[in-house]
Structure 1
């Protein structure tokens, strides 16, 4: 049987845009441009490299999100993934990491997998817990925060770099891994890849398809949620020190007043 690789990706608000919360204290995804999470691009890249080393291997990208999340899937498909699965349901709005892991696990069990690849974290929530939650729900081993990953003889192997040492990890397939932004630069989609992505299949699923009760996910079923939001104050004009021979003293006095020194 050929190797089945599934990459979990996320459609996130553009970090360079004016990111804010909606009235229900969830991330506003309507008033800002979105894109494939940059850290998930590394997951797509590593999946494609593993697939290239295994004849007949297939790479599927999987996401949970609104209609616009198809843009993230198309980006991954244009990089070289073979097909995509999009879980989209109005009742998913406000789902936290626990709920998202339940949805992804159900989707993975439906589509089938040998290796699940994730980025190290999303660029909006930046929690980094989803790969571990996903592995627990699926009942498979996890090898997270890898800067190097390969698949050989039914085993996934990788290197995790820490502050004081590097660890070599391995686990039998099926398994879940996450890769860091040190794992290898993600490729840019070619024009040919962009055009080919338009013809690649994108399967749409909802909660009913996955057998998930809407009350267990979404904002109402979330175990974690934002209680209160305060807008960041507008930037004020800084203090300008005109140097007429005493600039250094004025600067030192200001820094002392602000308790920087």
Structure 2
């Protein structure tokens, strides 16, 4: 079984992301790592091939420093990586990212694509579905449990009230939640082995794409700090208390 896991290099979640003058996140020269949400996807992919045979390929898009994220996934046990990096991709939005990732995935046969539910930096949560749409395959999202059988994949989709059982034929894309599989720790042996595992580096030209095809359709034009919260108000019991509470709820547009 050929499994692909889409992974992303993100600023260290424990730190504070830096923005450049163009309001884009500065990724070069800053501490970064494999997106924590993608670790669950890597684990789901590894468990799938451990149960059914095959290999896991990590696919990422970003600057060359994004190789850090791929190497971490390789140290967990993935077999190979693909990094798409090109100066024209700076500032790429979710749709452009999906087009590039889909083009990279489509170069080879695959049975399943695993992703996280959303990245910790952009948090749009739209890339997985966009990739599936471009590839013309089913998208099974927010999986808390994944079962793979011959020619099909079944998931339990997390909902506010419980879960739905969803099944689709393969090839398919599955986005997983933190409940799907606890990521394994990379062993020293795995870390050393990751250094020699193959990672293919591609440009837009290698994918047959030009800059115009992946130009962002949206951009950040300004940043405004969130307004600070004022002190709360304590409403004392007594005449007029109910009326004051109602007024406060109206001001807050709750009622």
* Coarse TM-score class (shorter-chain normalised): 0.7 to 0.9
1: CA distance, partners of 2:220 / 2:157: 32
Counterpart residue number, 2:87: 90
Counterpart residue number, 1:15: 13
2: CA distance, partners of 1:76 / 1:164: 33
Q: CA deviation at 1:111?
A: 2.9
1: CA distance, partners of 2:46 / 2:173: 16
**Would you say the 8 A contact 1:17–1:32 is kept in 2?**
no
Gap regions ≥5 residues in structure 1:
239-253
Deviation sequence 1:19-50 (CA, Å, 0-9, x none): 12111111111353110000000000000001
Which of 36, 39, 62 aligns to 2:37? It is: 39
The reply on whether 1:165 has 2:162 as its aligned counterpart is: yes
**Would you say the 8 A contact 1:21–1:229 is kept in 2?**
no
> Scaled by the length of structure 2, what TM-score is found?
0.88
SS of 1:68's partner is helix
- Structure 1 segments, 4+ long, off by >2 Å, are 230-233
Counterpart residue number, 2:253: none
Alignment RMSD, CA only?
Answer: 2.2
Q: How many residues align?
A: 238
> Scaled by the length of structure 1, what TM-score is found?
0.86
**Would you say the 8 A contact 1:157–1:170 is kept in 2?**
yes
SS of 2:232's partner is helix
Gap regions ≥5 residues in structure 2:
235-247, 250-255
Counterpart residue number, 1:225: 219
**Would you say the 8 A contact 2:28–2:63 is kept in 1?**
no
Deviation sequence 1:150-182 (CA, Å, 0-9, x none): 210110111012112311111111111100011
Counterpart residue number, 1:186: 183
Deviation sequence 1:185-221 (CA, Å, 0-9, x none): 111100010011011000011000001111222xxx2
Counterpart residue number, 1:110: 107
Q: CA deviation at 1:225?
A: 1.8
Counterpart residue number, 1:195: 192
Which of 53, 59, 62 aligns to 1:62? It is: 59
Counterpart residue number, 1:251: none
2: CA distance, partners of 1:161 / 1:255: 36
2: CA distance, partners of 1:26 / 1:168: 39
Deviates more, 1:204-213 or 1:15-24: 15-24
2: CA distance, partners of 1:30 / 1:203: 20
